[in-house]
């Protein structure tokens, strides 16, 4: 399998060399889940309130770290409206922080531009929850505002 992928992925072709390891690790990940359907597995893990375990499990895939796991889980929870199944302590797992989120969160004064990702995650949830705003939708809005160059003030 690795040799076949090497002829399609890498320098001068699609993707980069490390993508081969990622594809192989995705296949290995899929072997361990029922029906080999990652989305169904994710929804099941959320329904079983095992989101923390799933967050960590996703990071066993090469090139999937906390930010990518958060992006994915945030959008699965949002798409399937599973917000009520995520305990409040784990809302921070659904807060991916990229340059856009960081920039807008700092611009509106809920965090500093140099704050650690975990601090920004907690700031987003801490700002949204008392105002009855979905932290997920708020995070998505921060990203959208940053990506689309929306000026504040």
Residue in 98, 105, 141 with CA at minimum distance from that of residue 124: 105
Residue with tokens 């320098």: 11
Burial of 58 (0-12, 13-18, 19+ CB in 10 A): buried
Mean pLDDT of 79-104: 95
Angle of helix 135-147 relative to helix 66-79, nearest 10 degrees, comes to 110
Cα–Cα dist 1/8, whole Å: 11
**Domain ranges, ordered by start, for the chain:** 33-147
The predicted-structure confidence for 92-132, as pLDDT tens digits, reads as follows 999 999 999 999 999 999 999 999 999 999 999 999 999 99
The predicted-structure confidence for 5-40, as pLDDT tens digits, reads as follows 555 566 665 666 677 788 889 999 999 998 999 999
Q: Greater confidence, 12 or 76?
A: 76
Residue in 128, 64, 62, 63 with CA at minimum distance from that of residue 95: 128
Strand partners, 14: 9
Q: How far is CA 146 from CA 70, 98, 133, 134, in A?
A: 18, 10, 19, 18
């Amino acid at each position: 399998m690795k040799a076949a992928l090497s002829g399609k992925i890498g320098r001068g072709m699609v993707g980069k060399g490390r993508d081969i390891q990622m594809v192989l690790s995705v296949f290995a990940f899929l072997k361990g889940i029922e029906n080999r359907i990652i989305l169904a597995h994710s929804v099941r893990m959320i329904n079983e309130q095992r989101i923390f375990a799933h967050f960590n499990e996703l990071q066993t895939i090469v090139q999937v770290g906390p930010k990518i796991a958060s992006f994915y889980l945030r959008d699965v929870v949002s798409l399937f409206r599973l917000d009520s199944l995520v305990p409040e302590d784990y809302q921070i797992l659904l807060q991916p922080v990229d340059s856009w989120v960081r920039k807008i969160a700092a611009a509106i004064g809920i965090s500093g531009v140099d704050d650690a990702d975990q601090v920004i995650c907690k700031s987003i949830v801490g700002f949204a929850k008392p105002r009855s705003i979905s932290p997920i939708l708020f995070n998505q809005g921060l990203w959208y505002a940053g990506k689309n160059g929306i000026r504040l003030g």
